[in-house]
């Protein structure tokens, strides 16, 4: 597989260079040209949008002025109404009945002066002793109005109409037992004016005496009304996500289509702080986080408030971006196909002479040492081809000789390790039987001899190095039975090997040295009963056999000695060396142990 990848790399190298060259010569100018078109398109669209939104906010500000223009006239008409003059001149503010009668008459007068179809939420005349006007709207706690911002700014305006931005009704009048959401007039903006009633019916101006308290005219609007007015004339046909706000020059929000800017928040922007007095309209840009906005604004002549439109710039240019992106992708695909075809044809023409040579070299690299190049003697590369064929024949001869030597050496090493293992095992087993006979337990010794004879038959009946796992496990169980008789069942053994592995071929006697070390050395001087777990598990590529005991364990220095033939125990190192000879250096034995905590030996072979 690696050789094939290398071959493809060789074949495609020149072709890739040509393809990259074609792409650089075509794609780079295309990208530069697209960037220029994109910038010009964005500039043009932005300028058009600015003009359109500017018209929108100017139109909205005119509508706002038209809606509020009659408020000054409304206040002036009330000031010269002789009926109101007479009511307040003769009013006994200590008489409850007199106050109620006056309230009915004043309410009727106020309603009469309101224009037909007016969007006023409520209108009142407020004094320190009574609130005249509609009874079911705008409750003021006793004394709260006279200490409010509305009363203060009305007095300071001295008869002029003063506009108060949207405020919290409960906060303004200190109402603690309600929230704004519990009353329909929770958020209002208001026009206030201190009244000075007079009578001009006689041809001369007669004013109230100084001792009569001047009432304050309070005209309330809801922010929903103003927002609906702005939305009605907003430029929603261009960008549906444009936000509209009405603010004063300090950033106080009167109404907003964006929930992030309500009456409890201030609109903060750098351009607002630099806006000069008397500036009627304009446009600018601002950033809110990572988003860039185009902002247009126009001033209301009546309220001096600003109608503001904010729209994300990316929404204005998203269609242009989409179209340009589509065109660029389409052109790039076409150019890529043309470049790929051109590079393929040119590289094929250039490399036609050497493809055969590369193919032969790759075959030799994969072990096909008999591969030769077929050529015409008249070919200008014939001398080169002849030398390559001669090299291939020489390599074949050398590889064959070296391969045969390596096979003989490998078989010899396996034979030596097996010969080293068998006497070692026989010596230990016969020694165990001897001690059992000396102890006088002849039945046990007889069973051990029978097991040993069958085990020797298994080891000697075939010189094959690989056997079925089921035969190896059967042999290992006989060996364990011998050891349990010898150690009087001082340990128990548990097997956990999947049934589907029983037909797998494994190295002969590869688990026995590991089991023997666990029994002889692991359980030595152990006061508790030994437990030996023999298991197997697989992954995508390997099979791992584990021999784990709960014995004495060993130090890391001892682990190193066991694996490197430097200790007295050679079984584990023999098994590791056999596995590596059979399967390669990536496989073998790993040993994990802690002193006093047992030992786990893992044998890894390919699946």
Lowest mean pLDDT among 107-121, 379-393, 431-445: 379-393
End-to-end CA distance of the chain: 19
Query: How many structural domains is the chain composed of?
Result: 4
Q: Which of 287, 317, 335 is the last residue of a domain?
A: 335
Lowest mean pLDDT among 43-47, 346-350, 358-362, 483-487: 346-350
Residues 150 and 264 reside in one and the same domain = no
In sequence order, the β-bridge partners of residue 467 are 506
- CATH number reported for the structural domain that contains residue 273 in this entry: 3.30.450.20
pLDDT of residue 337 exceeding 90, the answer is: no
Percent of the chain with pLDDT over 90: 21
Tell me how far apart the alpha carbons of residues 448 and 482 are, in angstroms, rounded to a whole number. 5
- What rounded mean pLDDT belongs to the chain? 81
CA distances (Å), origin 261, targets 172, 176, 232, 547, 582 = 19, 24, 19, 71, 77
Residues 189 and 200 reside in one and the same domain = yes
Residues 311-340, mean pLDDT to the nearest whole number: 78
Beta strand residue intervals within 38-180, DSSP E: 122-126, 131-133, 162-168
Look up residue 213 and give its DSSP letter. P
Residues 283 and 391 reside in one and the same domain = no
Q: Is 50 exposed, middle or buried (0-12, 13-18, 19+ CB in 10 A)?
A: buried
Strand, coil or helix: what is 246?
Answer: strand
- CATH number reported for the structural domain that contains residue 506 in this entry: 3.30.565.10
Residues 268 and 287 reside in one and the same domain = yes
pLDDT of residue 491 exceeding 80, the answer is: yes
- Give kind and range of the element (H or E) at residue 338: helix 313-351
pLDDT of residue 193 exceeding 80, the answer is: yes
Residues 408 and 551 reside in one and the same domain = no
Q: What pLDDT score does 479 carry?
A: 86
Domain encompassing residue 180: 70-225
Residues 126 and 165 reside in one and the same domain = yes
Task: Tokens 């059979």: give the residue.
Answer: 582
The token duo for 597 is 């905590």
Q: Is residue 64, in this structure, part of any structural domain at all?
A: no
Q: What pLDDT score does 8 carry?
A: 46
Beta strand residue intervals within 28-134, DSSP E: 122-126, 131-133
Q: Which of 225, 244, 272 is the last residue of a domain?
A: 225
Q: Is residue 65, in this structure, part of any structural domain at all?
A: no
Structure confidence by residue, pLDDT tens digits, 290-307 = 888 889 999 888 888 999
Going by pLDDT thresholds of 50, 70 and 90, the confidence category of residue 549 is: very high
Q: Which residues contact 296 (CB under 8 A, 6 or more apart)?
A: 50, 53, 54, 56, 57, 281, 282, 283, 308, 309
Q: Is residue 59, in this structure, part of any structural domain at all?
A: no
Residues 423 and 524 reside in one and the same domain = yes
pTM of the model: 0.50
Q: Are the C-beta atoms of 347 and 18 separated by less than 8 Å?
A: yes
Residues 345-358, mean pLDDT to the nearest whole number: 69
Residues 86 and 143 reside in one and the same domain = yes
Q: Is residue 5, in this structure, part of any structural domain at all?
A: no
Count of C-beta atoms within a 10 Å radius of residue 554 = 22
Q: Is residue 56, in this structure, part of any structural domain at all?
A: no
CA distances (Å), origin 167, targets 173, 186, 259, 421, 475 = 10, 8, 16, 97, 94
Query: What does the buried/exposed string (b/e) look like for 82-120 if buried means 16 or more CB atoms within 10 Å of the residue's CB?
Result: eebbebbeebeeeeeeebeebbeebbebbeeeeeeeeeb
Look up residue 598 and give its DSSP letter. -
Outline where 197-312 has alpha helix (H): 223-233, 270-273
Q: Is residue 367, in this structure, part of any structural domain at all?
A: no
Q: Is residue 98, in this structure, part of any structural domain at all?
A: yes
Tell me how far apart the alpha carbons of residues 353 and 188 are, in angstroms, rounded to a whole number. 89
Residues 190 and 306 reside in one and the same domain = no
Residues 405 and 486 reside in one and the same domain = no
Q: What pLDDT score does 84 carry?
A: 93
Query: What does the buried/exposed string (b/e) look like for 400-415 if buried means 16 or more CB atoms within 10 Å of the residue's CB?
Result: eeeeeeeeeeeeeebe
Q: Which of 359, 391, 416 is the last residue of a domain?
A: 416
Residues 217 and 262 reside in one and the same domain = no
Task: Tokens 């007479």: give the residue.
Answer: 86
Tell me how far apart the alpha carbons of residues 256 and 184 are, in angstroms, rounded to a whole number. 18
Residues 602 and 464 reside in one and the same domain = yes
Q: Is residue 21, in this structure, part of any structural domain at all?
A: no
Going by pLDDT thresholds of 50, 70 and 90, the confidence category of residue 369 is: low
């Amino acid at each position: 597989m690696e050789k094939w990848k290398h071959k493809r790399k060789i074949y495609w190298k020149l072709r890739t260079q040509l393809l990259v060259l074609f792409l650089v010569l075509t794609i780079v100018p295309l990208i530069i040209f697209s960037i220029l078109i994109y910038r010009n398109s964005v500039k043009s669209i932005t300028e058009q949008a600015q003009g359109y939104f500017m018209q929108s906010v100017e139109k909205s500000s005119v509508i706002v002025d038209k809606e509020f223009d009659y408020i000054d006239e409304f206040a002036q008409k009330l000031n010269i109404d002789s009926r109101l003059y007479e009511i307040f001149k003769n009013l006994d503010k200590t008489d409850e009945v007199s106050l109620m009668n006056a309230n009915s008459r004043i309410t009727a007068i106020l309603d009469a002066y309101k224009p037909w179809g007016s969007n006023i939420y409520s209108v009142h005349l407020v004094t320190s002793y009574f609130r005249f006007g509609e009874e079911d709207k705008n409750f003021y706690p006793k004394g709260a109005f006279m200490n409010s911002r509305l009363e203060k700014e009305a007095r300071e305006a001295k008869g002029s109409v003063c506009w108060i931005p949207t405020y919290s009704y409960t906060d303004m009048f200190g109402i603690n037992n309600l929230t704004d959401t519990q009353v329909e007039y929770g958020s209002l903006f208001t026009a206030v004016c201190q009244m000075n009633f007079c009578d001009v019916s006689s041809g001369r101006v007669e004013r109230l005496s100084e001792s009569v308290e001047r009432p304050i005219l309070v005209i309330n609007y809801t922010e929903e009304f103003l927002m609906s007015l702005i939305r009605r004339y907003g430029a929603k046909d261009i960008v549906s996500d444009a936000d509209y706000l009405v603010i004063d020059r300090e950033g106080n929000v009167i109404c907003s289509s964006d929930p992030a800017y309500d009456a409890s928040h201030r609109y903060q922007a750098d351009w607002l702080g630099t806006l000069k007095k008397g500036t009627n309209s304009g446009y600018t840009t601002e950033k809110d986080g990572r988003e860039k906005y185009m902002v247009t604004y126009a001033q209301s002549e009546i309220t001096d408030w600003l109608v503001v439109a904010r729209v994300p710039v990316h929404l204005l240019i998203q269609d242009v971006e989409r179209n340009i992106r589509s065109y660029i992708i389409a052109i790039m695909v076409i150019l890529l196909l043309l470049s790929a075809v051109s590079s393929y044809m040119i590289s094929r023409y250039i490399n036609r002479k050497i493809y055969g040579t590369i193919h032969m070299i790759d075959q030799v690299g994969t072990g096909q040492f008999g591969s030769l190049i077929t050529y015409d003697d008249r070919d200008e590369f014939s001398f080169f081809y002849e030398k390559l064929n001669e090299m291939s024949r020489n390599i074949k001869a050398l590889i064959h000789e070296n391969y045969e030597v390596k096979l003989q050496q490998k078989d010899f090493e396996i034979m030596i390790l097996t010969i080293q293992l068998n006497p070692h095992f026989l010596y230990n087993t016969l020694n165990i039987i001897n001690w059992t006979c000396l102890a006088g337990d002849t039945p046990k010794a007889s069973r051990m001899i029978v097991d040993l004879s069958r085990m020797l038959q298994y080891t000697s009946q075939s010189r094959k190095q690989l056997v079925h796992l089921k035969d190896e496990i059967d042999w290992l169980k006989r060996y364990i039975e011998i050891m349990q008789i010898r150690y009087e069942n001082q340990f128990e053994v548990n097997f956990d090997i999947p049934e589907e592995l029983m037909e797998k071929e494994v190295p002969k006697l590869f688990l026995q040295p590991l089991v023997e070390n666990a029994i002889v050395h692991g359980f030595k001087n152990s006061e508790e009963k030994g437990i030996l777990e023999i298991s197997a598990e697989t992954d995508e590529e390997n099979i791992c056999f584990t021999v784990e005991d709960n014995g004495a364990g060993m130090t890391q220095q001892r682990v190193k000695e066991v694996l490197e033939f430097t200790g007295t125990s050679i079984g584990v190192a023999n098994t590791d060396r056999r596995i590596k000879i059979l399967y390669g250096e990536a496989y073998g034995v790993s040993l994990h142990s802690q002193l006093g905590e047992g030992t786990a030996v893992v044998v890894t072979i390919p699946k």
